[in-house]
A and B are shown apart, each in its own frame.
Chain A
Amino acid sequence: MAKRDNAVDLVGLLSVEGQDLAATWVREVSGSLKGRVGTAELDRELRELYDALLDALRQGATDVHADQMSEVRALLTELSRNRARQGFSPSETAVSIFALKRVLEPLLQEGSADDVRAYLELGRVLDGLGLFTIESYSQTREEIITAQAEQLLELSTPVVRLWDGVIAVPLVGTLDSARTQVVMEKLLQALVDTGSEQAIIDITGVPAVDTQVAQHLLKTIVAARLMGAECTVSGISPQIAQTIVALGIEFDDIVTKASLADALKLALRRSGVDLVAHEGAQR
């Protein structure tokens, strides 16, 4: 039953009669966060955590991965997630936990040897909790970064409808293999969704292409052909034209036009639309 006694000690240490340790904890943490989290919110967060921790210890939990700690872990995950989203650093997040140790220090001055042992034991538990917050913190940050990268990919590849049966993707910025692949898939899906037989890939805003990107563009065009649509590439810069020739990429089968306007004209003609200028039209 040694373990059980130990648990009681830890609980005793955290629940000194007549003292609101949780309040001291909140004050301590609030100082370190320099008021960037509202006191009321912090108070709620830490009190919940404090109660959950006491409960877990009462049930005999000895480290952060114990079954009894599940509530504590859930609260810590939420706290770390919030801190990560609000832009706090990992140390500012973990310090919330470590501050509890400092809160307990004054109590040791009049404590017995048992109290000191209990304090050290609790210290180990709190270290584990601190590390856990850092882990959840970095996990959240990674999720945020992945989500942002995906959003960026989505944002940077719009497929627009220029005319009935004519769609276009204006590409801007540096193309890498992953982005080109996303464009390829979006363009082909858009052909089906809009029932378009003509697609224009405008690369006026692309400063350079490498072999892989050029290959992806070529594959897109061949895939579109397999689906029954035709692609035109417009806005090839002189630099890119030189790259294509220098790399020896076969662009022979591909229809290219100098500008998006020319490509649109061609696409319209191919889909049976004639553009007629009215005589005496006002400009």
Chain B
Amino acid sequence: MSERIPILRIGETLLVSVQFDLEDQMVLNLQEDLAQQIVDKSARGVIIDISALEIVDSFVGRMLAAVAAISRVLDARTVVVGMRPAVAITLVELGLSLGGVDTALDLEKGLAKLRQSTDSALR
């Protein structure tokens, strides 16, 4: 039984802030929990804040891409926010460009992006 990262809900949006270096099992738990919560809470958007992460390896990268794909299937949109420049450079060099994952500079811009997409969906 390993620790789980708390998932907060604000309206139709789920918010996860990753504050420390994660063990692989926690990464897998997070993916599972998010899928479950999107359905349980009828969420339309997910924000994953990784601004505190000093490294993102292919395992975490794969989880981010998977969550984005899963949320799309469940009619929600995932935005990854706050990736550090050094992390972005490293991921590109590693060969992981996270196609299909929406990104934003910070939490505020991420929320704005979600709002934009729900607005346009309603129109």
Report A's interface with B, CB cutoff 8 A: 184-185, 188-189, 191-192, 195-197, 219, 222-229
Contacts and interface: CB of A to CB of B under 8 A. Distances in A.
A227 to B, nearest CB: 5
Nearest to A197: B105
Given A188-B85, A189-B85, A192-B85, A226 B92 contact: yes
A155 B31 CA distance: 45
A195 B93 contact: no
B105 A219 contact: no
Interface stretch (B14-22, B38-46, B96-104): B96-104
Contacts of A229: 105
Contact of B110 (A184, A192, A228): A228
B91 A226 contact: yes
Contact of A197 (B84, B86, B92, B109): B109
A223 B85 contact: yes
Nearest to A191: B105
Q: Which 9 A-B pairs have the closest CB atoms?
A: A188-B85, A228-B104, A223-B88, A228-B103, A226-B88, A228-B105, A219-B92, A223-B92, A222-B92
Given A185-B85, A188-B85, A189-B85, A227 B92 contact: no
A226 B105 contact: no
Interface string B80-123: 11011111110111000110000111100110000000000000
6 contacts: A188-B88, A191-B85, A195-B106, A222-B92, A223-B91, A223-B92
Contacts of B105: 191-192, 195-197, 227-229
Nearest to B51: A192
A222 B91 CA distance: 10
